[in-house]
Amino acid sequence: MKTNLLTLVTLTVITLLSACTKPLKFNGEYVEPKLVVNCIAVPGEPVKAVVYKSDFVFDTITDYTMPEGTQAFLSVNGESKGEMQLNADTTYYNYLNPPVFTINYYFTHDYVPQIGDVVKISVTAPGFDEIEGCSEPLPNAPLGGFMDARVTKWDTTSASGYHIPVPDADSTIIVWLTHYRKHLTVTIEITDPNPGVLDLYCLEASMRTEGDWTFPDGREHHEQPAELDQVYFNDPIIGTSTAQLEDQFGINVGLSNRAKSTFNDATFDGGTYRMEIPMVTHTLFNANDSINAYVEIKLRHLTEGAYNYYTTITSGNSYSQYYSEPVGVYSNVQNGFGLVAGSNDKMIGFPVW
């Protein structure tokens, strides 16, 4: 009997393992690249957007170069503001995974939108269909404040080696960075600005570092040091922060590389919600470097488009996604992909050491 049971268990395990390695068969059709535009308009700040081409899910090599003649145009409240300016080539530098590459798709406009403005961006490029996306009216600033922050625990873990590019050279060196971790408690208070109306929010948190660090060969590097900054938080109403997301090529148009969670004011409509949010921070840098680190917390009052985008893209990047159906990322761009939306932000930063 024991032999039969052992045989059955062995066959079951082999079957499960073989199922895990079974190749997937793709029966769909190849989708040609389309234009993508991303813009989060913020009252009081000039409009900026990134434009690039979409990837197919099975592409192994991606060409990020946009064709000559790519143009972006801005309209506000139905009135044309003219062509947006194409910035000089933008360099994206990945500190932990060289090489460096440049692309030119970053557009700006001098117009500074106001609360209530409706922003529309259209993009044309040779060989592509024209695309356009339009925001809802830009929201007012969130009401509330950050009352206090305190460190509740400090840990230091073992060091790890990372390949760091050498300035002005095509080589890398291994730098051993120490992993530092702090536990924080931050008190936040939010007041509903529009009783009877469902207001949409996003809470974001990140770390910023300042200071110089030195290569083992003695050469100084006076930019942000090579480190991994992460912040995690959790609250019954706001929720738990998801995996961090990075802007396409690291350019900040409001889709920033921060731990984030979306929520609404349904549970405190017309009132005030005060919360204490436990956070954990992680940072890597040399123990002998002169580094100052700051936690930055941003409370964002979102348009519906921005709320839907953040909600779907963070759901698709959570660990639970491995056990659920894929999440379609929200897009409000016609004939292409991306997002044109709005946000009004309140941010505070404080040192953690």
| Stated length of the chain | 353
**Among the listed ranges 15-24, 56-65, 124-133, which one has the minimum average pLDDT value?**
15-24
The CATH number assigned to the domain holding 127 equals 2.60.40
Cα distance between residue 46 and residue 59, in whole Å: 35
Q: What is the pLDDT of residue 7?
A: 53
Tell whether 218 and 320 lie within a shared domain.
Answer: yes
Query: By percentage, how much of the chain surpasses pLDDT 90?
Result: 26
Looking at 134, 162, 188, which one is the last position of a domain?
A: 134
Tell me which of 134, 165, 183 is where a domain ends.
134
Mean pLDDT of all residues in 124-137: 95
User: 87 phi and psi, to 5 degrees?
Assistant: -70, 165
Q: Are residues 242 and 95 in the same domain?
A: no
**264 and 311 inside one domain:** yes
> How many domains, in total, are found in the chain?
2
- Domain extent, residue 48, equals 35-134
Range 333-343 burial, b when 16+ CB lie within 10 A, else e? beebbbbbbbb
pLDDT of residue 82: 96
Report the pLDDT value the prediction gives residue 90, as an integer from 0 to 100. 62
Q: How far is CA 90 from CA 51, 62, 105, in A?
A: 12, 17, 8
Q: Residue type at 42?
A: V
Q: Is it the case that residue 86 has pLDDT exceeding 80?
A: yes
Q: Of 133, 132, 135, 131, which Cα lies nearest the Cα of 33?
A: 131
Pair (79, 226) in one structural domain: no
pLDDT digits (tens, 9 = 90+) for 18-31: 555 556 666 667 77
Q: What is the mean pLDDT of residues 229-254?
A: 60
Regarding whether 85 and 229 lie in a shared domain, the answer is no
For the record, the structure tokens of 243 come out as 């995996």
What's residue 67's pLDDT? 85
